[in-house]
Structure 1
């Protein structure tokens, strides 16, 4: 397996994974790297270097930058982005797969893997944010958002420059996500039950008093 093939595989996987976290940061990062000549994007991703596409991605990145840092608004934004990040991640990975020279089989592989990775990273992000929102202070939202932005940019850079390292880190991420997400949802359900019971007690007390 040549280094170019490994890089193409890492880019395909990275594009899908990054899109599930912050699609617009992923588009802007790859577009800027391609437009500046730092990397040769595969034909399916060359459109990302188009100035109009970069401008639109930049505008949406700014919108997400602020929406992603407001408690509860970030979870609403994640819910809306479910219908955008996952299919876009599949398409981004399919475009990156054109660098493998496998024809339609490569693009289908990219669609499947990209969609799966975008779903995994999106669900992990949305679940983590929902858990963070149970805390009243906003600092954790800001910290999580900045960490996610840095992970997308750094992850794509690593995929292009150190593909084997990225693949190892991606496998580790998937393993951690598979372990953590079910536990996060169980914790969220327990928190929801606690809140429901807490709100029911005053109502019961009022009824007894009357």
Structure 2
């Protein structure tokens, strides 16, 4: 298996759903679908934690505004996960240095995470919840499909991931106005809650 395309693809996927990436790769290794998966990802405790967190993300990611809070928390987690998976692949192959793999996986994850978080802000600016659910489901299916494809065709999967990342950046640029609207609404809600709390406070 070529390592560089795998590091790039797993980094892109980690920026969208890091837990799904770890879980899928681990399952591919445990079941013998691929012998190129690092042993660390196949450990039972890693699979259990990744599976539990994947279920949490699957739920939180489909609830408007909760998904943006979840994304904010994972601004650090997803790039670190992409870097970690990249380092594991590099350590197993020996054809790529740990530093290079970590930088590639982490930076790619950060880029795709930024696209995802920004797109969710734009979607949350819309009053109906259906688009959020559809987008979240499409992301989950997309990550699963691309990571699975990478196990058998790493170079082609890396090209697909690069195209999806570029398309995501282009869409994000078009949705800037919606993102600003989302941020204004969130600031307004915070101010309303602060005012309500102040009015509910008993007088001295």
- Same fold at TM > 0.5: yes
The alignment status of 1:169 with 2:164, answered yes or no, reads no
TM-score with structure 1 setting the length: 0.81
Write the distance in 2 (CA, Å) between the matches of 1:173 and 1:27: 20
The Cα offsets for residues 157-177 of structure 1, whole Å up to 9 and x where unpaired, read as 111112232122122123223
Q: How far does residue 188 in structure 1 lie from its aligned partner after superposition?
A: 2.2
Partner of 2:108 in structure 1?
117
Q: Which is further off, 33-42 or 182-191?
A: 182-191
Out of 7, 25, 29, the residue aligned to residue 12 of structure 1 is 7
1:62-141 matches, within 5 Å, as: 62-102=55-95, 106-141=97-132
Counterpart of 1:74 in 2: which secondary structure?
helix
Cα gap change, 1:11 to 1:195, in 2 (>3 Å):
closer
Cα gap change, 1:138 to 1:46, in 2 (>3 Å):
same
- Cα RMSD of the aligned pairs, angstroms, is 2.2
Are the aligned partners of 1:100 and 1:106 in contact in 2 as well (CA < 8 Å)? no
Q: How far does residue 53 in structure 1 lie from its aligned partner after superposition?
A: 1.0
Are the aligned partners of 2:18 and 2:78 in contact in 1 as well (CA < 8 Å)? yes
Counterpart of 2:118 in 1: which secondary structure?
helix
TM-score with structure 2 setting the length: 0.83
Are the aligned partners of 2:125 and 2:178 in contact in 1 as well (CA < 8 Å)? no
Cα gap change, 1:76 to 1:195, in 2 (>3 Å):
closer
The alignment status of 1:21 with 2:16, answered yes or no, reads yes
Write the distance in 2 (CA, Å) between the matches of 1:124 and 1:161: 26
Are the aligned partners of 2:122 and 2:182 in contact in 1 as well (CA < 8 Å)? no
Cα gap change, 1:35 to 1:134, in 2 (>3 Å):
same
Gaps of 5+ in 2: 188-204
The Cα offsets for residues 106-164 of structure 1, whole Å up to 9 and x where unpaired, read as 21111111111101110010011111101111111111111111111111111111223
